[in-house]
A and B are shown apart, each in its own frame.
Chain A
Amino acid sequence: MSQRQFPAPFVDLEPFAAWALATEGQRARKRRDSTMVEIQTFYDAILPRMDAILDHLNQLPLDNMPEESQRLLHLTLALAEVAPAVELFNQPLVTDGYDPERFIPQQGQ
């Protein structure tokens, strides 16, 4: 069994650990490389857990949290990344949008 990725109360989110990516560039790539079913499954799993997640994370210093909590924070940022796909476009990429490979986030954000 692989090592636990998130704090103990959030063990149910372990199957989505691959979404816990540190930069916008990585999260945006994961969004465009995923199917809508994969995105929707992740969205449906994390959305009802967000209040508990933020309650947990908000008690920790943002710039100095344990690694497991840091990964959980990155998971919430992945929800922010995929939200427009689920809620607005009903497809991974912006409908009739610009090539995301050409719209480059700066400084590893």
Chain B
Amino acid sequence: MAAVAKMDGWTPTPAKVWHQQHPELGTEPIPIEPYISQQYFELERERVFRKTWLNVGRIEELPKPGSYLVKDLPICQTSILVVRGKDGKVRAFHNVCSHRSNKLAWNQQGNCQNFSCKFHGWTYNLEGQLTFVPDEENFFDLKKSKLGLTPVACDTWEGFIFVNLDSQPQETLQEYLGELGETLKGYPFAEYSVERYSWSTELHANWKLLKDAFQEAYHVAFLHKRSIPDSFTGKSNPFAHGLDYKLYRRHRQMSVWGNMEHKPTPVEGLAYRSGTLIIRNDFSADRLPPGVNPTKDQGWALDLNVIFPNFFVDISEGSYFTYNMWPLAVDRTLWEVHNYFPKAQSAGQRFSQEYSKVLFRDVIMEDSSTLEQTQKVLASGAKTHFVLQDQEVLIRHDQKVHEDYVGFYKGR
């Protein structure tokens, strides 16, 4: 853009420019029905969550052979067991015993030599093969070699573990992530994933309401006026306009502006002196890969990366955070939040990380309460559509991608 950057680092973009770049999306209000319809929810279960690559963890959670994690996926009516084998390979299985379908591993994570079912003692090795059946001679034509755990497609990208419940996934994980996956390559995920702070909550809201709230910054000046009054907004950018928006086939990215004239509070200033914060007033992103901070703006805070269907990887310099939104019902969502940092080398860095994650947590507590208030009136019938502005283009794109999968409106 030809415009000149202002004192606080903002280079204005013309109004409505992002929709002009994507005329195929239209500009009409978008329907609320997909957020409240039980029928739509059931289609999402079959056509989205059983067909796409889903992030279920990070590789640091499986440090050595025998390390495993269990991921219950109520939306897919199953539980997944992800385990590192003796050969070092990470595999995923339905966490279901071959005998009478008991859930095999009950811990959320652990390390073991084999998995033994609590119900009748059927035992599987780390590669999912059935190795022992008590009272085996009383079974009829039992072929242990054919009664291993049911495998699930599993692969990793930049240390993130994904599974795909489709018995024949139509694309590899790499193909599925496409250009966005390539763009983020080289971001120091491993270095930044040493300290992990996590929260989870069961929110009374449709899972897409959560997604929408975290793929626009229009709300920041209002909802977050107390918690982050001048970090992402400023005199010349009062409505937190984005530096850049990129729409991929099913994923998307927003590059978020940070106000270089942001005035830190006393404790924030202390934390800033001791380490890296998401919100600060010095953005020097030289060592990050080219696709991160794509406009190479000095006033850059972070990039939101929204990976379809339910995974956010939001990256800045020095830390990143992720969201996983797991639908439990049409109006309930399990929301998992992780905030990642490099290894804290000193008490000062530990303090800095604590301040950063506490502020981050308090900010998203403002989002969370709002989402439940929205949900309370969403099915009232008072409104049938959401009205979107240019800076909410990611929400519009998301609904289009959903419809491409779900086909709810096709032929209507």
Contacts and interface: CB of A to CB of B under 8 A. Distances in A.
A48 to B, nearest CB: 10
Task: Provide the main secondary structure of the chain B interface.
Answer: helix
Contact of B267 (A47, A102, A104): A47
Contacts of A17: none
Contacts of B347: 54, 57-58, 60, 62, 65, 73, 76
Interface stretch (B125-133, B286-294, B362-370): B362-370
A80 interface: yes
Contact of A57 (B202, B348, B368): B348
A43 to B, nearest CB: 8
Contacts of B157: none
Interface string A75-87: 0110111011001
A97 B199 CA distance: 16
A60 B267 CA distance: 22
Given A60-B347, A80-B358, A105-B197, A97 B365 contact: yes
Given A98-B201, A98-B369, A62 B345 contact: yes
Interface string B251-280: 000000000000001111011001000000
B116 interface: no
Sorting the interface of chain A by its residue count into under 10, 10 to 19, 20 to 34 or 35 or more gives 20 to 34
Given A96-B370, A97-B368, A106-B200, 17 more contacts: A47-B266, A58-B346, A58-B348, A62-B349, A73-B350, A76-B351, A76-B354, A79-B351, A81-B354, A87-B267, A88-B226, A88-B362, A89-B227, A95-B226, A98-B368, A103-B201, A103-B361
Interface of B: 197-202, 226-227, 265-268, 270-271, 274, 344-351, 354-355, 357-359, 361-362, 365-366, 368-370, 372
28 contacts: A54-B270, A57-B347, A58-B347, A62-B350, A73-B351, A77-B354, A80-B267, A80-B351, A81-B354, A83-B265, A83-B266, A88-B227, A88-B362, A89-B227, A89-B362, A94-B227, A96-B369, A97-B366, A98-B201, A98-B368, A102-B202, A103-B199, A104-B199, A105-B197, A105-B198, A105-B199, A106-B199, A107-B198
